[in-house]
Amino acid sequence: MLTLIPLPAFEDNYIWVWHDERHAVAVDPGDPAPLIAFLDAHGLTLTAILITHHHRDHTGGNVRLRQRYDCIIYAPDNPRIPAVSRVLRGGDSVDIDGPALHFDVLATPGHTLDHISYVGHGSLFCGDTVFGCGSGKLFEGTPAMMAASLDAILALPDATRVCCAHEYTLSNIDFAKTIDGGNRALLERERTDRASRARNAPTLPSTLGLEKATNPFLRFHEPAMTAFASRFLNRPNPAPDEVLGAIRAAKDAWDG
C-alpha cells in the first residue's frame, strides 16, 4: 500500500514523501527537520531521495539525511548538489525496492540548467518547472528551453498528478486572471483552491488536465495566450517560445 503526502517545509515548500508504512522516499527535502520528525512519528526508514535541481531549498537536507539513514540520493549532474549517490539525466530511470517505485527521468531545464523531473505511478515530481497555475522563473535557462520542457510535460496523460515543490497557487491564480481573466476554468479553480487554503489544506497535487485548462504557462500554444503575447510584444504571430517568454516577462513584472 503506497501513500503519497506533501510535507510542508520552510514557508511554502513541499517535501513529497512516498511510503509503504515501512520505507519512505522523499523528493527535494531542503529542510531535514520536518522530514525526520515525520519519519520518526510513523516509524519509517528513508531509503532514497530524489532531487530535481541544485537550489538549496531542495537540497539542504541531503548531508544530514544521508548520514542518518544511509539512503541513496538521486540527482542531476551538478557539483553544487551535496552527497549525491547516483547522477541522472533525461532518459534515465530509477528503480527503488522499498517502497517499490519506478520513475522515468525527464530533462526539464529552464528554471535551472540542471533541472530534471520524475514521472511514475501516475505522478509528476516537477520541482520548480511547473507550479500550481504557474512556472518557475528562468534563473539560468531561456524561454525556448522552458518551452521544450513544458512540451515534454504536456505529452503526459491529463490524469497525471502534478506534484510541485511550492505552495504558490493562489498568487499564481491572481496573476493568471490579469492575462486570462475570461477563462471560466481558471475562475472555478480559484474558488476551489481558495477554499482549500482557507481550511489549511494544500492545493496540490493538481492534475495535468487542470493545469492545461488554467495555467497560462502550460497554455502557451493556446490562441488566447498567443493573442496576449501579440499585444504584450506589440507584433503579430509570435512563436510559441516567444509566447512563453511574454508570459514569463509579464509575471516577472507583476511580481515587481
Q: Which of 31, 57, 193, 241 is catalytic?
A: 57
Q: Which of 23, 28, 31, 53 is catalytic?
A: 53
**Is 128 an annotated catalytic residue?**
yes
What end-to-end distance do the CA atoms of the chain give, in Å? Answer: 45
Q: Is the confidence at residue 256, as pLDDT, over 90?
A: no
Task: Supply the pLDDT for residue 225.
Answer: 98
| pLDDT tens profile 51-87 | 999 999 999 999 999 999 999 999 999 999 999 999 9
Q: What is the pTM of this model?
A: 0.97
| pLDDT tens profile 191-212 | 999 999 999 999 999 999 999 9
**Is 58 an annotated catalytic residue?**
yes
Strands (DSSP E) found in 65-153: 72-76, 86-88, 93-96, 101-107, 116-120, 123-127, 130-131, 134-135
Task: Supply the pLDDT for residue 116.
Answer: 98
**92 Cβ partners below 8 Å, 6+ apart?**
104, 105
Burial class (CB in 10 A: 0-12, 13-18, 19+), 61: buried
Q: Which of 19, 54, 111, 115 is catalytic?
A: 111
Q: Is the confidence at residue 215, as pLDDT, over 80?
A: yes
Distance CA 47, CA 26 (A): 9
Q: Is the confidence at residue 226, as pLDDT, over 80?
A: yes
Q: Chain-wide mean pLDDT for the chain? A: 97
The owner of cell 549532474 is 77
Q: Which of 28, 55, 114, 115 is catalytic?
A: 55
Distance CA 38, CA 17 (A): 10
Query: Grid coordinates in use for 256?
Result: 515587481
DSSP string of 4-61, one letter each residue = EEEEEETTTEEEEEEE-SSEEEEE--S-HHHHHHHHHHHT-EEEEEE--S--HHHHTT
Task: Supply the pLDDT for residue 229.
Answer: 98
Q: Which of 28, 31, 114, 128 is catalytic?
A: 128
**Is 111 an annotated catalytic residue?**
yes
**Is 115 an annotated catalytic residue?**
no
pLDDT band of 4, cuts 50, 70, 90: very high
On whether the CB atoms of residues 129 and 150 are closer than 8 A, the answer is: yes
pLDDT band of 147, cuts 50, 70, 90: very high
**Is 166 an annotated catalytic residue?**
yes
Distance CA 122, CA 103 (A): 10
The owner of cell 538521486 is 74
* Domains along the chain with CATH numbers: 1-94 (3.60.15.10), 108-256 (3.60.15.10)
Distance CA 58, CA 32 (A): 10
Task: Supply the pLDDT for residue 224.
Answer: 96
Q: Which of 19, 23, 54, 166 is catalytic?
A: 166
- Average pLDDT of the residues in 221-244: 97
Task: Supply the pLDDT for residue 1.
Answer: 86
| pLDDT tens profile 87-100 | 999 999 999 999 99
Task: Supply the pLDDT for residue 37.
Answer: 98
Burial class (CB in 10 A: 0-12, 13-18, 19+), 68: middle
Starting from the edge strand earliest in sequence, which strands make up the sheet with 3-9, in order?
3-9, 13-19, 23-27, 45-50, 72-76, 86-88
- Average pLDDT of the residues in 149-165: 98
Distance CA 32, CA 204 (A): 21
